[in-house]
Amino acid sequence: MKKNLKNSSFATAVLLFSFVLINCKSVAQEPSKNTENQNQTTVSSTLKWSDKMALTLMKRYPEAYMIDNAKTPKWDYVHGLVLHSFEELYKKNPDPKYAAYIRDYVDNFVQNDGTIKTYELEKYNIDMVVAGRLLFNLYSTSKEEKYLKAMQLLRKQLEEHPRTQSGGFWHKKIYPNQMWLDGLYMGEPFYAQYTVEFEKGKNLDDVAKQFEQIQLHATDPKTGLLYHGWDESKQMPWANKETGNSPNFWSRALGWYAMALVDALDYFPKDHPKQKDLVRYLNNVSSSLAKYQDKSGLWYQVTDKVGEKGNYLEGSGSSMFAYAFAKGANKGYLPSKYKKLANKAFDGLTKKLIKTDSDGTITITDVCAVAGLGGNPYRDGSYEYYINEVKKDNDPKATGPFILAALELNR
C-alpha cells in the first residue's frame, strides 16, 4: 500500500512538474514571438538609409524602451530623440510598424491620469522634457486625454523650472545656475510647439530668451563656437572665473544647439520679432562649424582641436550637423551651400563610420557615449576628459540624428 502511494505521489509530482514546465515555457515564449520574427528580418540593401537604420534599431530592440540597451523601461531623452526621428520617417514612409513602435513606447509610461511612469517632476531635469514631443501627434490623432494631460505635466515643469537670474533654464536642479547647450534641444522644441498649439504662441519670447542667453554668454568671440556649458555663478571648478564658461568646444553639445534651433524655428512665424534672431544664431554657428569640417566631411570630438593627439572624427556631432545644415538649407534659413556640406558630412558617415552586417543592419561607429560637466565622478571639461570618454557603437545620440539627416537629404 505504501509503495502504491509512493508511486501515486511520484506520478502526481511528475504531472504537476510537467504542467508547470509547459506553462512556464508558454509564458516565456509568448512575448518573444515578435522578437523572433524581427531577429530573422533581413534589412534590404536597396532601402534608404533612414529605413535601414530604423529597421536595424527595431530588429535589435524589439521594444523601443530597450534602445540604448536599457534593461527596464525608462522615460528618457535618448528615446525621445530616436522616436522623434521615427515620427519624421513615418511622414515620408507611413509604415504602420513605425507608428506602433512609437506608441508602444509612450503607452508604457503615460497613465490615464496623465502621470508618466519613472518621470519625477521635482528633479527639474530638462532632459526629461524632450520625449514629450512624441505626445503631440498621438494626441492630435487619437484625442485621448491622457496625452494632453502628460503634455500639461511637462509644461508644468517648465513653468516651475529653476532659472538663472537672467532667465535661462538650469540644466538640472542638481546643476544650479548652469545652462548647457544640450538643454536647448531638451526643452525648447517642446516648449515652442506647446505654446503655439495650446497658448496661442504667448511664450515664444521666452523660448527665444533661452537661445539669447546661451548665445550671449557661451559664444567664443574668436572662433564663433559655443562652449559646452555656462555657469552664471562662476563657482564651478570647471568654469572660467571671468566668463563662467567651460573650457572646451564639444561637437555633440554644438550639435544639440544647432538641432534645437532648426527644430524650434518650425514654430516661429516669419513675422515674429525673434524669428530673425534665431535664424541669425543658426547662421553664425553654422558658419563657424563649417570652418572645422574635416576633408572627410566629419567633425572631431573636440571641435576646434583638429588632428590633435587623441582627438577623433565623431559620429553623433557629425550626424547632428548634417541634419541641422540640411534642414536649415531646406527651410531657407541657411544658404544653399550648407546642403552640399550636409551631403559631404553624410558621405563621411556612410563611408568612414558605417558598418553593414551580413543581415543588412547597420552600425555607426566612433560615437562618444556620454559627456557632461561636474557631477560625481567629477568631469572637468578638459580636452583629455572629452577624448577619453567611452565610445559606443550605434549610440542613440547618433542613430536618431542620422535618420533625420538621411530624411532631409533624401538619401
**Residues carrying an active site annotation:** 182
Among 100, 101, 118, smallest CA distance to 109 is for 118
DSSP state of 398: H
The span from the CA of 131 to the CA of 189, in Å, is: 11
Inter-residue contact 331 to 261 (CB < 8 Å):
no
Q: For 52, what's the count of Cα atoms within 13 Å in the CB-facing half-sphere?
A: 21
Among 396, 307, 410, smallest CA distance to 127 is for 396
Give CA torsion, residues 179, 182, 187, 190, to 10 deg: 160
Q: Which residues pair with 79 in a beta bridge?
A: none
Inter-residue contact 94 to 102 (CB < 8 Å):
no
Q: Which three cell numbers stand for residue 216?
A: 550671449
Inter-residue contact 265 to 279 (CB < 8 Å):
yes
3-state helix, strand, coil in the chain (%, to 5): 60, 10, 35
Inter-residue contact 196 to 267 (CB < 8 Å):
yes
Inter-residue contact 114 to 71 (CB < 8 Å):
no
